[in-house]
Chains A and B, each alone.
Chain A
């Protein structure tokens, strides 16, 4: 039938492909957000540098690999040689690769910072439904001590303070949960299922699994205790009393050393067990009071090849959200009628746009539309500012 075709046969009619649209989960960054975000980036980067973390950049294109922890979530591309590539979906793996090939001899500890964009195929609501987003972070590689863990907590606190975010740091230790489950005699699929229930603090699911796997009342009590093991330093005492096993006791002793070295206030959640197979030591995150999402997260892991590493990352989009109420205003923009006055205005910390024409009517109209309140010109007596007055829709004169 002429004139009839299914919508699927005409992909160019999909709204997502129309001119002016961008893919879901991506965003344009406009002024003033752009300059505020760049200022934040500069402050964080300077903070990391001051602690000795040197910057590296890794490619956004990587070889796709089934071993990559985010492989299932990464965008894939095929290059002209048929090689499957991934868009960078996480920094730690990429920095680990860089360390192995570029710094095989260290010197360790190796302190590196990175920043840039990451991409995920699916919308991630944890990130505000973004598929393209910005992260900055640090890695402290080659050492595995309480001091190095405490250093990262100090640096995380310093970074948040630099950014102006009020936040609380919380420490967890997924291996502690695993040790307690091992001591309780849980293995294989049962242990994985109980990890998941404990990470969701679901006492009901713990009971269900306990019944399914025939766990004793004592074990069930221990598992319930894990779901409630969060709060202040008192948590460490409860954790120490929970399981006599060597692994569990060492985990708690390590956390005590880190907490003492850190010295500041810390929250603890020893029921955190997300990615317990990946993290080899403590994990931590920062909560900002105004935002029910963490603004920073990190932990200790092993790089492929066995080198110990630890680090943390901040999501710039999330951090901007937390900071929105306290971000400083941008400097005033003035219109400079000549190059000399523009230079002088900039020297005073103003932003100056240059006049591009002698048509004052056009300059006035532009200034009104752009929100420029003052013109600046050079005169023998020095810099002269002219406050602009505009007529509003009713013909009355107003000064912006």
Chain B
């Protein structure tokens, strides 16, 4: 592994999730004045630009890199941020990658909820607790709807974007836990130590997303 190069005091390291959000994030950050371009398709996970390093991460890892200060700032969905439990600064709602986290059941299901399948156990537990439901949560990794359809769980807590998948599988949203969009998150010390670079970035992003 190549060691991280030594950087000037005002160098920025940004943690971005790979995949769909990465393109939107890079487009927005370059509009906000950072000298970024979409990296060529390659196996590189770290992309160097003048004065900025981009770390390409799994979205769940973005809050960890920012909280522990390896990255100064990052972009991640509010859903992932809530699930991480990390107390980073979140100064800008970037208003893209919108979705909602919902409690989902088979259409017409009314039985007691005793087991809930989810990729978001922390958010699911908090929700169940707030509703006074004592149900077991089961952490799953994908195709959460199947848990409902196969009887693994009586309900699932999962992301809904358009609702198309739900309809196709005879499922319905019972309640929305919260709405999520992409957020700029910032390490608590970095915001102060690197204010000269981060504050203008925050201002520009706010202006760009104000409409």
What is A's interface to B at a CB cutoff of 8 Å? 125, 168, 170, 199-205, 227, 230-231, 267, 269, 287-289, 291-294
Q: List 14 A-B contacts (CB under 8 A).
A: A168-B192, A200-B90, A201-B90, A201-B91, A203-B91, A204-B78, A204-B183, A287-B189, A287-B192, A289-B9, A291-B189, A292-B187, A292-B193, A294-B188
Q: A125–B9 contact, CB under 8 A? A: no
Interface centre among A205, A288, A292, A293, by most chain B C-beta atoms within 10 angstroms, is A292
Asked, given contacts A292-B69, A293-B69, whether A200 binds B192 with beta carbons under 8 Å apart, the answer is no
Q: B91–A292 contact, CB under 8 A? A: no
Encode B1-14 as 1/0 by CB contact (under 8 A) with A.
00000000100000
Docked CA distance A134–B92 (Å): 36
Docked CA distance A202–B86 (Å): 13
Q: A202–B91 contact, CB under 8 A? A: yes
Instruction: Please report the total number of B residues contacting A with Cβ < 8 Å.
Output: 27
User: Does B67 interact with chain A (Cβ within 8 Å)?
Assistant: yes
- Which residue of A has the minimal Cβ distance to B193? A287
Complex contacts, A200 vs chain B, CB 8 Å: 87-90
Question: 8 Å CB contacts to A: which residues of B177-201?
Answer: 181, 183, 186-193, 195, 199
User: Does B93 interact with chain A (Cβ within 8 Å)?
Assistant: yes
Besides A200-B88, A230-B195, 10 other A-B contacts (C-beta < 8 A)? A125-B68, A168-B192, A168-B193, A199-B87, A202-B89, A203-B91, A203-B92, A288-B193, A293-B69, A293-B189
Docked CA distance A200–B87 (Å): 7
Complex contacts, B64 vs chain A, CB 8 Å: 125
B93 touches which of A203, A269, A291 (Cβ 8 Å): A203
- Which residue of B has the minimal Cβ distance to A268? B192
- Which residue of A has the minimal Cβ distance to B178? A208
- Which residue of A has the minimal Cβ distance to B93? A204
User: Does B72 interact with chain A (Cβ within 8 Å)?
Assistant: yes
Asked, given contacts A200-B87, A200-B89, whether A125 binds B67 with beta carbons under 8 Å apart, the answer is yes
CB distance from B203 to the nearest CB of A (A): 10
Complex contacts, B183 vs chain A, CB 8 Å: 202, 204
Encode B85-108 as 1/0 by CB contact (under 8 A) with A.
001111111000000000000000
Q: B69–A291 contact, CB under 8 A? A: yes
Q: B195–A231 contact, CB under 8 A? A: yes
Docked CA distance A202–B90 (Å): 5
CB distance from B154 to the nearest CB of A (A): 28
CB distance from B147 to the nearest CB of A (A): 25
CB distance from B62 to the nearest CB of A (A): 15
Docked CA distance A199–B69 (Å): 18
